[in-house]
Amino acid sequence: MLKKKNYNNIFHIWLITLILLISSIIIVGGLTRLTDSGLSITEWELLKGIFPPTNTNSWIEYFESYKQIPQFKILNSKMTLEEFKYIFLWEYAHRLLARFIGLFFLIPFLFFLFVGILKKKAIVDLGKIFILILIQGFVGWYMVVSGLLENISVSHYRLSIHLFIAFSILSSVFWLLLNYLNKEEKKFFQFNKFNNSFTLLLVLIFIQIILGAFVSGLDAGKIYQTWPLMNESYFPDDVFIYGILNFDNPSVVQFFHRNIAYIIFFLSIYCGFKIYKKKKVLLYKSFLVFFSLILIQITLGVLTLISGVNIYIASMHQISSIFLVLAVLSLYYRSIRAY
């Protein structure tokens, strides 16, 4: 019979592994979007799709289904079966990893409930995370459906919801881990005079993630590929034609994505100054890690733009966002008091 300490160690490892798996699926999801692979599987296939096609007939069946949607007819009508296999395997990997994460969460969760090592609050928090995981599966399919009938790509609104939920799940598991490691039970939102700017910083980074999904969904990075100006102008040429709040316009989306990044950068400097002024020594290391990642993220964002959305740089930009979110959560966690 395992001792409680050993169960706690297993719980610790489980949370870390979940963070790694969720980070992996965000990366694979980003590459699925960058390679335009997300519509290659045109059916839900909760159970049937566990195994990939194993023979030529199966591959042809999937390819024929793909040929019926607008993306193939308008963009990829000359695509060969071998080219289709490439985009199919990205989407297949994304879905397979999603299934694995669901099981990897549920089975250990039930085990920990059975052995009775979880506190009531942890049970509630983990239950909420599992509900988010289930919702994420439905939202993923809801997103795919938006590109099957009339559009050549998925809705950028649904894509942003899908990505936001993914980061919400990642953040929730990471917060649980921080509480576990620090033997505290900090609530996610706690407001005091000192940490309000850190709360705003966290909120802005999540807004930026949503805008990043808009940029990706609309291919907004493939226009105005200059920096710091947008083709020799601060405002894009067509913003006032279509409206400054028209988020169906790639120019508007890129404009806001750029400017929220600037706000985050200057707010980060302000937070650093505040930490130094108040002599919050315990926040020094967390802030330096966070601010280093901000600089990396901005640099990768600019390079993604001026490189013509090079897939390797764009992927690094997306991967960096994961580290950035974990870093800002760590900084925010340390900026608030335990209740």
**What does the DSSP assignment read for 27-75?**
HHHHHHHHTT-TTS--S--TTGGGSPP-SHHHHHHHHHHHTTSHIIIII
Q: Determine the length of the chain.
A: 339
- Asked whether the beta carbons of 181 and 120 are under 8 A apart, the reply is no
Render pLDDT for 68-110 as a digit per residue (tens, 0 to 9).
Answer: 999 999 999 999 999 999 999 999 999 999 999 999 999 999 9
- For the residues 205-232, what does the mean pLDDT come to? 93
How does residue 156 score in pLDDT terms, banded at 50, 70 and 90? very high
pLDDT above 90: percentage of residues in the chain:
73
Q: 288 or 183, which is more confident?
A: 288
- Measured CA to CA, the distance from residue 96 to residue 23 in angstroms comes to 15
270-293 confidence digits (pLDDT tens): 999 999 998 999 999 999 999 999
Which amino acid appears at position 295 of this protein? Answer: L
| Statement: residue 2 has pLDDT above 60 | no
> What residue has token string 């985050």?
264
Which one, of 192, 175, 196, lies nearest residue 184 by Cα?
175
Instruction: Find all residues with CB under 8 Å of 230, minimum gap 6, and list them.
Output: 224, 236, 251, 254, 255, 258
Reported as half-sphere exposure (CB side, CA atoms, 13 A), residue 167 has a value of: 27
pLDDT, tens digit, 9 for 90 and up, residues 222-247: 999 999 999 888 988 877 766 788 89
Domain boundaries, the chain: 1-183, 186-339
**52-66, 112-126, 285-299: range with highest mean pLDDT:** 285-299
Report, as an integer, the average pLDDT of 211-225.
Answer: 92
Place of tokens 């966690």: 333
What does the DSSP 8-state code read for residue 238? T
pLDDT of residue 339: 40
**How far is Cα of residue 169 from the mean position of the Cα atoms in its chain?**
9
Range list of H helices, 148-249: 156-182, 196-218, 239-242
Please say if the pLDDT value at position 204 is more than 60.
Answer: yes
pTM of the model: 0.92
What are the pLDDT digits (tens) for 253-275? 999 999 999 999 999 999 999 99
Q: Which two tokens stand for residue 312?
A: 């390797």
- In this prediction, residue 149 carries a pLDDT of 86
Please report where in the chains the tokens 């850190």 appear, as a residue: 198
> Closest by alpha carbon to 321, among 188, 208, 176?
208
Among 129-143, 184-198, 278-292, 294-308, name the one with the lowest average pLDDT. 184-198
- Residue 338 predicted with pLDDT over 50: no
Residue of 18, 26, 19 whose CA lies nearest to 319: 26
Higher-pLDDT residue of 185, 292: 292
**Closest C-alpha among 45, 47, 74, 46 to residue 62:** 45
Angle between helices 284-306 and 250-277 (to 10 degrees): 160
SS3 (DSSP) at 316: helix
| Phi, psi for 51 (deg, rounded to 5) | -105, 140
- Confidence (pLDDT) at 3: 61
DSSP state of 281: G
Nearest to 209 by CA among 250, 252, 264, 154: 264
